[in-house]
Amino acid sequence: MTIEIGYPITAASASSLETSLTLGTLPPGRYAETVVEGPYEGLQAGTAAFLAWGEEAGVRWAKEGASGDRWTARTEHYEVGPERTADPSQWRTRLSFLLAP
CA distance 7 to 26: 11
User: Residue 42: which pLDDT band, with cuts at 50, 70 and 90?
Assistant: very high
Q: Which of 81, 71, 72, 77 is nearest to 94 (CA)?
A: 77
> For residue 100, which phi and psi values (nearest 5 degrees)?
-70, 145
pLDDT for position 11:
65
How many other C-beta atoms are found inside a 10 Å radius of the C-beta of residue 11? 6
Q: Domain ranges for the chain, please list them.
A: 27-98
Q: Is CATH 3.90.45.10 the right assignment for the domain spanning 27-98?
A: no
DSSP H or E run through 48: helix 43-57
Model pLDDT for residues 7-31, shown as the tens digit of each residue? 777 766 666 666 666 777 899 999 9
